[in-house]
Amino acid sequence: MMRVAARFIPYPLGTMEVMVEFDKAKYQARKLPHPPLLHWVLNPGIAFNELVLGQRIPKLMLIDKTSDAPLVERQYVPCPQCHALNDARLWSKGNAFGHWFGYVCPACDAQIPCLWNFTSLIILALTFPIWIGFRQSAEKRWLTKEKTRLPDRASDEIPEAKQISWLKMGLGFGVMMFSVMTLPKVFLHQLSADLIALQTAIWLVTGVLFGLMMKWFLGCKR
C-alpha cells in the first residue's frame, strides 16, 4: 500500500481542504477548480446522484503522470488519516453508489473528504429539520456497512479496469436531467406537447455529447 503525507486545513462552514505532500514529478493533483470537478459541484442534476444514489467523488485525487495507461487506471485517492494512496477503482463498478457520507479508507476506516454539489447543499439546508434528528445514528449504521464493502481489505490487489459504455453513460445522464429539469413541468402542465418533444430531443443530444466527452476524458493517456 502506497503512502503519502497529508493534513486537513479547516475552512469556513465546516469544509475541509485536503493538503497532501506527494512526489510532484510522479503525480498530478486533481482538485477544484478542475473542469470535471467544477461540473460536479455546479450541475444541479448531480444532486440526484449524491442524495439519492449516494455517488460521491473525493475532493482530491492524484494522477500518475508517469504511466501510459488510460486515465481510469492512473487515479489514486489519498487518505489524510493514514496516508494510504488508494486506487480509485476501488470505488467503481458495484461499489460506486451508496457513499452518502463520503468514502471510507480501506486501510484505516477513516472517512475521506468528498465534494458536495451546491444544489445538494441547498436541499440539505432546506430539509435540515427533517433529517438532523437521525443523522448521527444513520451515519453510524452506514459506516458499519461501509467497512464491509471491500472484503479483502488487507490486500493490495486492485480491480481490473472495466470497459465503460459511453453511450449508456450519456443516455443515463440525459434521462436524469430530463427527469429533474423537465418532468416536474410536465406534471404541472406547464409545457405543451411540442415543448416536451423539443426538450426530450435537447436532453438526448446533451446526453450523447456528455457521453462522448466522458469517453475522451476517461480514455485519454495524458
Q: Which alpha helices (H) appear in 9-150, and where do they start and end?
A: 35-42, 46-48, 118-126, 128-131, 135-146
pLDDT classification of 216: cutoffs 50, 70, 90 = low
In this predicted model, what pLDDT tens digit does every residue of 88-114 receive, in sequence order? 888 877 788 888 888 998 888 888 989
| Entry pTM | 0.63
Q: What is the mean pLDDT of the chain?
A: 77
The pLDDT tens digits of the residues spanning 118-156 come to: 999 999 999 988 888 888 888 888 888 887 776 544 444
CB of 22 within 8 A of CB of 29? Answer: yes
* pLDDT at residue number 158: 46
